[in-house]
Structure 1
C-alpha cells in the first residue's frame, strides 16, 4: 500500500475541500482518506488534489494534422466525406495513424487526463489502430466507432455485419451527424448497441439545425432523443424546448468550447444548461484544432460564457471543474469508477503543486485551478494507482 500525506483534497462529486488528509492507495484504488500519517508516506506538502480529468469527447485520429484546417468552416474541415480531415485520414498509412495517436495519448497523459472518449473514424480498422497505440499507456480510452460503409455502398446485410464487428471491439458508437446514415440504419445501430454507448454530434452547426427543422419539422435534439441517445455532443444551437427535453429524458451532454470557437460555430449556453440542471461535461474535440488540455478548456468555458452574457456571476466556477471530471465521467457511464475522489474508486487524481505561482496569494483555489493552473503545475498524477507524473516529471516519454 502507498500513502500520500499532507493532501488538501477536493472530495466527492461536489468537490468539497478537506484539508491535511492522507490518501491510501492499494491495488489501484483509493482505500481510505484519513487524518492519520504514516512513516513512509509520500509528502505532498499541502498540494491540492483533484480528480484526474475526463476528456469526454475527442478525435485522436487527426492528431497528425494539427493546424491543417485552421480558418476553414466546420463543413470544409471535418464533415464527412469531403472535409479536409477525411482526405487526410484517407491518405495516411495505418502505421502513421497509430504513431500519431500514440503521441496524442501521451499528450493527454501529460495534461492529467485519465479517460478519453474517442470518436473513431475508419470503421473496424480505425478502432484497431487506436487499440494498438494505447498499449502500455495507463489511460482509459473509450472507443466509439462509426461505420465505414454508407447508405449508398452497402446492402442491409453488409451494413449490419459491419456494425456487429465494430461492437465486438468497441465501447459503442459515436456518430458524426444525425444525417450520417438513414433513419432506419441509425435505429439499427441504436438497437444493436444495447447497453454500450450510443451518441451523436448534435446541434453543432447552424445550417444542420435549420435543415432538421425544414425537412423533419423537428430539432436535431428532438430527433436524437427519439433514438434514446446516451449523450449528445456540442449542443451549440439549442432552444428552451430542447433543454427541457434533455432534462425530461435525463440526457447528459458534452461541450467543446474551444473547437466551437475556432470553427466559428458559436458557443454552448453553459450557464443556462447549468440553470436547467443538465449534466454537461467537457471535451477537447479534434486534435487537429485543439490541444487536449482541460485546464485551458475550463478557462475558456468560464471566461467566454461570462463575457457573452455580461454576467460575471452567471455560474459557479466549481461547475467548470466538475464538468472536466465527474460530469464527463457521468456522461460516459464511468462515474462509479472515475471522476471524483472517494473511497473505493480508482486511484486517479492530480496533485496540484501548492507552491505554484498560479496558486500563490489565491483567495479562491477553485477559481485559480479553473483560470490559472496548467499542466506545468501538476506535481503528481496517479492513473489507477500508477504514477504518471512524479514531482513534476512525466514518466512515460
Structure 2
C-alpha cells in the first residue's frame, strides 16, 4: 500500500465505536486525520482485531482425530498435542504457523498473543514464521523460551514450583507474565492472581471473589468461548461468566486458543459470543480489540494512532440493509465481506 492514502465511509471511531461519516488520511502508517464528511463511500471502516490468546504451532495437529480429557489432549508435557509437536519437522511447524498467520491477516486480525511451547527453539520457530509477515505477533515462551520472548506463558500454577519461579523471574525482569487459570475448575485462579500476572486466560470457572480480585487488581482476562465448548469445559452461558466479568469491571479480551481445535477467526468468535452468551455487540467488539493495549496503544481509529483498521464492503451481499451495522459486523460479517484493497 502506498505511503499516503485516504479512505472514506462509515467510520467506527474511538473506543466508543461511534459510527460517523468520515474520511481517514494515513501517512507512513499513521492516521493523520479523521474528518467528518457529508458524502462518503459505501463502506464500513473498523479497528482491526487483536487475538489475545493463541497456540498457532498447533496448526500441525488441526482436527487430528482425538478424544480424552483436557489434560490428555493439551496439558504439558505429555498431552497429545505436545507429542504431535515433538514429532513434527521444524520447517513443517514454521510453514504451518505462517499459514495460520496468513489466515488471521486475511480475516482482519492485526495482532496476536501466542503461548509458544518448545523452549528457546520453539520461540525461534515462531520468530522465523513472523519474519516479514507484517503482523503484530507477540510471543510468550516457557522452559527457557521466555528469556528471548516478550514474556512467559504458564499452563497453570498446578505445574509446580519451577513454573512459578520462572514466572517470578520474568516478572522481576519486566517481562509479560500470563497464566492459564480457571479453565477446568477454580482451584488455580487465586494462586495465579497472587503472582500479579499481566493476564489470565480463560477463568471459565472463576468465582465471584476471584473476578472481583481481577477487577480490583487490574488483571485482564482473555476468554476463549468456542475452545471452552469444544474441549468440554463449558456447556452453558455462565461459563465463562462473561456478564459477571463485565459487571465487576474486569477488562475482558477475546482469544481463540488452540488451532488444533478452533480456527483463529475473531469474526466467528464474536458471533458465537453474541448468540450463545448474549453479550452486547459493542462490548464484544471492544473485547476483540482491547488485547492490543497489552503491548502498546490500542488499535482504535483516532488521530495519531497506527493505521490498523479494515474495510467492509457494506454493499456486498445483503449487509447494506442493516439497521445496526455494529451488531451486523459482530454477528454476520466474515472475510468475504472485506475490501481487499485495505
TM-score above 0.5, yes or no = yes
Contact kept? 2:152, 2:170, Cα under 8 Å: no
1:105 aligned onto 2:101: yes
SS of the residue corresponding to residue 81 of structure 2 reads helix
Q: Distance in 2 between matches of 1:258 and 1:106?
A: 21
Q: Distance in 2 between matches of 1:255 and 1:35?
A: 35
Superposition deviation, residue 168 in structure 1? 4.3
SS of the residue corresponding to residue 301 of structure 2 reads coil
Which deviates more, 260-269 or 119-128? 260-269
Residue from 332, 337, 341 that aligns with 1:372: 332
SS of the residue corresponding to residue 9 of structure 1 reads strand
SS of the residue corresponding to residue 319 of structure 2 reads coil
Residue from 191, 212, 220 that aligns with 1:244: 212
Contact kept? 1:257, 1:268, Cα under 8 Å: yes
Contact kept? 2:52, 2:254, Cα under 8 Å: yes
Contact kept? 1:13, 1:339, Cα under 8 Å: no
In structure 2, do the counterparts of structure 1 residues 66 and 350 end up closer, same or farther at CA, with 3 Å as the change threshold? same
1:123 aligned onto 2:115: no
Q: Distance in 1 between matches of 2:80 and 2:257?
A: 16
Superposition deviation, residue 316 in structure 1? 2.0
Residue from 250, 255, 262 that aligns with 1:278: 250
Contact kept? 2:151, 2:170, Cα under 8 Å: no
SS of the residue corresponding to residue 189 of structure 1 reads helix
Superposition deviation, residue 62 in structure 1? 0.7
Instruction: Name the counterpart of 2:304.
Output: 344
State the TM-score, normalizing by the size of structure 2. Answer: 0.93
Superposition deviation, residue 339 in structure 1? 2.5
1:294 aligned onto 2:232: no
Superposition deviation, residue 63 in structure 1? 0.7
SS of the residue corresponding to residue 13 of structure 1 reads coil
Contact kept? 1:49, 1:351, Cα under 8 Å: yes
SS of the residue corresponding to residue 101 of structure 1 reads helix
In structure 2, do the counterparts of structure 1 residues 185 and 371 end up closer, same or farther at CA, with 3 Å as the change threshold? closer
Contact kept? 1:44, 1:351, Cα under 8 Å: no
Contact kept? 2:20, 2:36, Cα under 8 Å: no
Deviations 1:292-345 (A, max 9, x none): 110100010111113xxxxxxxx42111111111x2223x233x1x32111111
Instruction: Name the counterpart of 2:168.
Output: 190
Instruction: Name the counterpart of 1:222.
Output: 190
In structure 2, do the counterparts of structure 1 residues 109 and 5 end up closer, same or farther at CA, with 3 Å as the change threshold? closer
In structure 2, do the counterparts of structure 1 residues 191 and 82 end up closer, same or farther at CA, with 3 Å as the change threshold? closer
Instruction: Name the counterpart of 2:180.
Output: 201
Superposition deviation, residue 358 in structure 1? 4.6
In structure 2, do the counterparts of structure 1 residues 320 and 135 end up closer, same or farther at CA, with 3 Å as the change threshold? same
Deviations 1:29-84 (A, max 9, x none): 111111469xxxxx972211111110000001111111115543311211112211
Aligned length, in residue pairs: 335
Residue from 143, 149, 155 that aligns with 1:170: 149
Deviations 1:105-153 (A, max 9, x none): 1111111111010100000000100111112211111010011xxxxxx
Q: Distance in 2 between matches of 1:305 and 1:36?
A: 37
Contact kept? 1:66, 1:289, Cα under 8 Å: yes
Contact kept? 1:30, 1:342, Cα under 8 Å: yes
Instruction: Name the counterpart of 1:33.
Output: 34
Instruction: Name the counterpart of 1:134.
Output: 130
Instruction: Name the counterpart of 1:232.
Output: 200
In structure 2, do the counterparts of structure 1 residues 81 and 188 end up closer, same or farther at CA, with 3 Å as the change threshold? closer
Max Rg structure: 1
Contact kept? 2:157, 2:163, Cα under 8 Å: no
State the TM-score, normalizing by the size of structure 1. Answer: 0.80
Deviations 1:211-248 (A, max 9, x none): x3xxxxxxx22111110111100010011111111111
Instruction: Name the counterpart of 1:11.
Output: 13
Instruction: Name the counterpart of 1:216.
Output: none
SS of the residue corresponding to residue 360 of structure 1 reads helix
C-alpha RMSD of the superposition: 1.9
1:322 aligned onto 2:286: yes
Which runs of 5 or more structure 1 residues have no equivalent in the other structure?
38-42, 148-161, 213-219, 307-314, 380-388, 392-397
Q: Distance in 1 between matches of 2:217 and 2:123?
A: 30
Which runs of 5 or more structure 2 residues have no equivalent in the other structure?
none
Superposition deviation, residue 254 in structure 1? 0.2
Superposition deviation, residue 200 in structure 1? 0.4
